[in-house]
Each structure stands twice: as structure tokens, then as C-alpha cells.
Amino acid sequence: MFNANFKLAAQRAGILFNEDEYYFLQRGMRKAEDEFFVIIENQYTRSLKNDFPYLRFKFPVETTLESLNSEVQNFPDISYETLNVLNKHFFVFGDSGK
């Protein structure tokens, strides 16, 4: 199902990633020579009764956590809902498949 060099880093509950986790992930993506990463909400963990679409985002690997969290930067609509709301389920993949 995954490439031979694929590395999995699983996290249980909580927020998507804290500062240390994000920079650990970023270092790994740089080592894998990823140019982009995607954040995809697990479609099987909530209902669409509220008609909000499942969240899917694509960012350059060099994106800082500060810019993801800043309401005045490029991503104001996603920072709180994606990074800070507990008990949401997301997958994060780099474009290399590693």
C-alpha cells in the first residue's frame, strides 16, 4: 500500500501537531525531498450534517508553523479549525510518498 521507504508517525488524539512535532515533520519531509505536503481530514470520523466539506489543504514544505497559525497570513480560514480543535482526524502526506 505504501512505498518501501514510507515512514509512519502516528499520534493519538489532541491537536494536529504542536511546534516540536511540526518541525520534526518538516525536517523529515526535507530529508525525503518533499516539495509539498497535504493535510486531509479523515472523512469517516464526522458526519456532514452541517454541510461543511471535509478539509483538504496543500502547502509548500517550507511553510512555517507561524504562518499556518497566523490569522493575518495566507491561511486565516484554516488555522484554528485544523490546527487547534481537539479530536479531529487528519492525514498528513508529503508529495514524495516517503
Amino acid code (one letter) for 53: P
Q: How many domains does the chain have?
A: 1
Residue 88 domain flag:
yes
Residue 10 domain flag:
no
Q: Residue 55 has what pLDDT?
A: 79
pTM of the model: 0.70
Q: Residue 67 has what pLDDT?
A: 80
Residue 50 domain flag:
yes
Give the angle subtended at the CA of 38 by the CAs of 32 and 40, to the nearest 5°: 135
What φ, ψ does residue 58 adopt, rounded to 5°? -130, 130
DSSP 14: S
Length of the chain equals: 98
Q: Hey, which of 49-53, 83-87, 88-92 has the most confident mean pLDDT? A: 88-92
Residue 71 domain flag:
yes
Q: Residue 68 has what pLDDT?
A: 77
pLDDT digits (tens, 9 = 90+) for 19-68: 888 898 899 999 999 999 998 888 777 665 666 677 788 899 999 888 87
Dist. CA 98–CA 85, nearest whole Å: 27
Q: What is the mean pLDDT of residues 61-79?
A: 70
Q: Which domain holds residue 69?
A: 19-94
Q: What is the CA radius of gyration of the chain?
A: 14
Residue 14 domain flag:
no
Residue 81 domain flag:
yes
